[in-house]
């Protein structure tokens, strides 16, 4: 049987707060929940089932917490290949994302990740994946990492606001070109206040 070690009151309070946090990273909260549930006397198998994690995951985080405390719940630095894109290529990605597509004769008024990736691959000969483009834009502060893309798979980047219903129109002469509204639209009576 593996249990979390005895915690001092401040440490226990910090773990409890982290386990119930709504603004921390999901992995950190999950790890804190493992520790919190273990400190409440729950067994490894019960914690794994309750949190829907692998049975090897729970002992791993309990051991790391027992050895290093709350700091042990953070991700360790990972070794890996150096960045595969030169600073010049990253600069092209950023500069292209800030360019109005119409100024380079493209048939759309704003970038999405798919459009930007296709353009970089085909026109700029930079073999880059959509996920890497997103990482670069987040690192440069051009995209929020908490946008709805994780749920919908679609990009709602800041430079795309001109296509939204609430932003400015792409064509400033839109109303004139559109003409009057359809006669089939009922007008709503105004209520005097």
pLDDT tens digits along 88-117: 999 999 999 999 999 999 998 889 999 999
pLDDT at 154: 45
Class of domain 9-73: mainly alpha
Reported as a pLDDT band with limits 50, 70 and 90, residue 87 is: confident
* Euclidean distance between CA atoms 180 and 131, whole angstroms: 43
User: Of 47-61, 78-92, 169-183, which range is least confident?
Assistant: 169-183
pLDDT at 186 over 90: no
- For 175, the 3-state DSSP assignment is helix
| Domain spans of the chain, in order of start | 9-73, 87-169
SS3 182: coil
């Amino acid at each position: 049987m593996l249990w979390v070690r005895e915690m001092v009151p401040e440490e226990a309070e910090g773990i409890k707060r982290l386990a119930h946090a709504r603004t921390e990273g999901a992995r950190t909260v999950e790890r804190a929940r493992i520790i919190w549930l273990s400190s409440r006397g729950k067994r490894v198998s019960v914690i794994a089932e309750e949190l829907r994690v692998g049975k090897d995951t729970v002992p791993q985080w309990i051991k790391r917490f027992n050895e290093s405390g709350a700091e042990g719940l953070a991700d360790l630095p990972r070794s890996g290949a150096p960045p595969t894109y030169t600073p010049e290529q990253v600069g092209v990605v950023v500069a292209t994302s800030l360019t109005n597509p119409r100024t380079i004769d493209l048939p759309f008024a704003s970038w999405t990740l798919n459009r930007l990736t296709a353009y970089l691959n085909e026109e700029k000969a930079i073999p880059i994946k959509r996920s890497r483009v997103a990482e670069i834009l987040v690192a440069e502060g051009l995209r929020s990492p908490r946008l709805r893309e994780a749920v919908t798979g679609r990009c709602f980047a800041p430079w795309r606001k001109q296509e939204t219903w609430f932003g400015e129109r792409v064509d400033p002469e839109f109303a004139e070109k559109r003409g009057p509204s359809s006669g089939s639209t009922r007008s709503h009576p105004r209520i005097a206040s």
